[in-house]
Amino acid sequence: MKFSEMNIEKSVLDSLVEIGYENPTEIQKETIPLIKEGHDVIGQSETGSGKTAAFGIPLVERIEKNGKIQALVLAPTRELSEQISRELMKFSKFKKLNISCIYGGVSIEPQISNLRHSEIVVGTPGRILDHIQRRTLDLRNIKIFVLDETDKMLDMGFIDDIEDIVRNVPKERQTLLFSATMPENIFRLRDRFTRNVKRIKTQTKVREDLLEQFYFDIDQNKKFSLLVHVIKKEEPNLSIIFCNTRVEAENVSKNLRRNKINAEVLHGGISQYRRNQIIEEFHKGKIEILVATDVAARGLDIKNVSHVFNYSIPKNSEDYINRVGRTARAGKSGKAISFLAKIDHQAFQEILNKYRPKVEKLETPRFPDLPFMKREEYRRFNRGFHPRRNHRFRSY
């Protein structure tokens, strides 16, 4: 199917021709017709799947150029808000719609004057709410309300802000909710904000031809030593080591650094600002190894990740697919290597049953035994040997 066969308004179609979009992606194919019919939609697909156009094309079609704000799009970060605005501007090039991009950390005055003649508003929940409270954002004419990367917004604690915002949006509206994953609390939003919602889910695709998957059977207390051995042998370009918990991720990254392996940790307990910095450095290759939890690394779209290591196996089998899908991207090959101790077997079996991936067992090589220090032991260690550096560890 092509965009030209999807009954899209001419001005929007012309803009797609100009951008060079010819064929819709999976999520676009599924959601655009439903949105055009006026349904509320929950779209679940990962970052980079073309979600912005999935809601952006039918959204721009529905908006009239009349100086009234008719669409509100909420996004978790300033970067994503800007990205969405840019994309919507392209789709509305021939309709000449005005789009305001609203986020915190910058002066509010220019935003106030832009809002006076916009048809579409894109922004982060905190600053949007600020404008509502100042009465500088009139939402009475909203026809379409979009939540993008909803799971990330919830993860960042925006739930109350979102609820406050929705109270100001007319009940007669179309609600579109996009998310890479569907944690429990999304269902609360669905039940309260949507009517007769259609749920679309596109599969996270793993390129089995480009991704090689392996596993080791290994005692829990030898995992770390084997991990270090494998890293040294494989010499990954960029790699992500996945852990099931924040504490585990912290412990693994600290122990790697003790062994002179430069790793950075990424989990939900780290501030959004710092997380963005880390991801940026990883993008540029300044950091070569990320030790991450599922939430923090979800949807990461970085081309040169050559290896994914599963230090522990996720309880939710979908997370496994999301993890290994961080490598073998953009036509490049990749390896996923899982470290299975006894406690991981059940979760791994569920993954095998559900997805039937091609996974090969590797013989455990001989490797040097390394000590693995945990949180408490670090405290003692640092108190004993580096009293002045104690403060660095107090944040636990």
- Residues 292, 215: Cα–Cα separation, whole Å: 19
Residue 78 touches ligand AMP, criterion: CB under 6 A: no
> 283 vs 80, 157, 158, 204, 280, CA distance in Å?
16, 26, 26, 21, 5
Specify the residue, 89 or 359, whose C-beta has the smaller distance to ligand AMP: 89
Q: Of 263, 265, 204, 210, whose CA–CA distance to 238 is shortest? A: 263
Q: Does 21 bind ligand AMP (CB under 6 A)?
A: yes
**What is the Cα–Cα distance from 253 to 259, expressed in whole angstroms?**
10
Instruction: Of 24, 89, 85, 18, give the one whose Cα is nearest residue 50.
Output: 24
- Number of residues counted as binding ligand AMP (CB under 6 A): 12
- Least Å distance, CB 4 to ligand AMP, is 12
Distance CA 1, CA 341 (A): 46
Identify which range of 47-55, 256-264, 287-295, 322-330 contacts ligand AMP by CB under 6 A. 47-55
- Residue 314 — φ and ψ, nearest 5°? -70, 145
Give whichever of 8 and 266 is closer to ligand AMP, judged by the CB atom.
Answer: 8
Q: Which of 38, 48, 104, 157 binds ligand AMP (CB under 6 A)?
A: 48
Triad 214, 216, 219: Cα angle to 5°: 160
Q: Nearest approach, Cβ of 81 to ligand AMP (angstroms)? A: 12
Nearest-approach distance from CB 19 to ligand AMP, in angstroms? 7
- Using the rule CB under 6 A, is 51 a contact of ligand AMP? yes
Closest to ligand AMP by CB, 29 or 257? 29
Which of 8, 53, 292, 351 touches ligand AMP by CB under 6 A? 53
Q: Name the token pair of 212.
A: 């090689």
Q: Which stretch binds ligand AMP (CB under 6 A): 41-49, 68-76, 126-134, 239-247?
A: 41-49
Determine the interface stretch with ligand AMP among 49-57, 91-99, 100-108, 382-390 (rule: CB under 6 A): 49-57
Residue 50 vs 125, nearer CB to ligand AMP: 50
25 binds ligand AMP per the rule CB under 6 A: yes
Nearest to 292, CA basis, from 326, 254, 266, 262: 266
Q: Mapping DSSP to helix (H, G, I), strand (E, B) and coil, where does residue 152 land?
A: helix
Nearer to ligand AMP, 49 or 225 (CB): 49
* 334 touches ligand AMP (CB under 6 A): no
Q: How far is CA 179 from CA 47, 173, 202, in A?
A: 9, 20, 11
Residues within the interface to ligand AMP (CB under 6 A): 21, 23-25, 28, 47-53
